[in-house]
Amino acid sequence: MASSMLADGMWLNKAAFVLGGGRSIQAHMDSLSQLHEYGLVIATNRAIELPIRPDIWAWLEERVYRWMGDGTLGSDAKAAFDSYAGLRVTRQYVGREVHYPSNVIVLETDPKGELGGSLTSAVNRGCNVGFFGLNLAWLLGANPIILLGFDQAPEREDGRVPHWHGDYPHDEKSQAKPAFDIMRPEFEKAAEQARKVDRRIWNASPGSALTCFPRFESLESIFNAVGGIT
């Protein structure tokens, strides 16, 4: 359902940081508290545990929300869940009833792997929560959009995707293809779309394998760049 608390373009030309789960975000830990001095913040999945209070917390899988709230992911995750006071945003499931409390904004979504849609109808979510967070920032009108913790790193030897936090309870080895191979075309398409309309998407994830966006290795360089265009 659409929400009056979210509207297309409401962050028009404001910088937005989208926080993912990649390990590279650990390089920025000491600077994350400064993000709100330069822009708005969207946290995906467990990124609400980071030392920054995001404006939006986004997730796609109901089980992530449930694990955060019931303590399955640990006391820090539960404390972050309980104390979070920003906008909680997720997708409407199709063909399955999922009941969320009234403080959760449930959006109609489309699995298209390209930027677009509308917050008042259906939001393109792609195949992963990082892309969903990026597209939320895009539809809100943010410019530039800065990605943190978007490593697209190869799986570990045990087949799991490496994160800055602990593993999720489910077995991520069940994917038929490596996660990056599935996600990469969506981000490459997003980079092409941004170039065509002269909007900026920057990747500030040190060592990231995601090379389709302009790269920044430090938050200081990002802060300088954002300060130079605002």
pLDDT at 146 over 50: yes
User: CA separation (Å) from 206 to 22, 58, 150, 222?
Assistant: 10, 23, 9, 12
pLDDT computed for residue 183 by the predictor: 82
Asked if residue 56 belongs to a domain, the reply is yes
Asked if residue 3 belongs to a domain, the reply is no
Residue 56 has phi, psi (to 5 degrees) of -135, 135
**Confidence grade of residue 10 (pLDDT, cut at 50, 70, 90):** very high
Asked if residue 6 belongs to a domain, the reply is no
Asked if residue 8 belongs to a domain, the reply is no
Asked if residue 7 belongs to a domain, the reply is no
pLDDT computed for residue 169 by the predictor: 75
Asked if residue 202 belongs to a domain, the reply is yes
Number of domains in the chain: 1
pLDDT computed for residue 136 by the predictor: 98
Asked if residue 10 belongs to a domain, the reply is no
What tens digit of pLDDT does each residue of 173-217 get?
A: 444 445 677 788 999 999 999 999 999 999 999 988 899 999 998
Asked if residue 206 belongs to a domain, the reply is yes
**Confidence grade of residue 90 (pLDDT, cut at 50, 70, 90):** very high
Domain that holds residue 57: 16-229
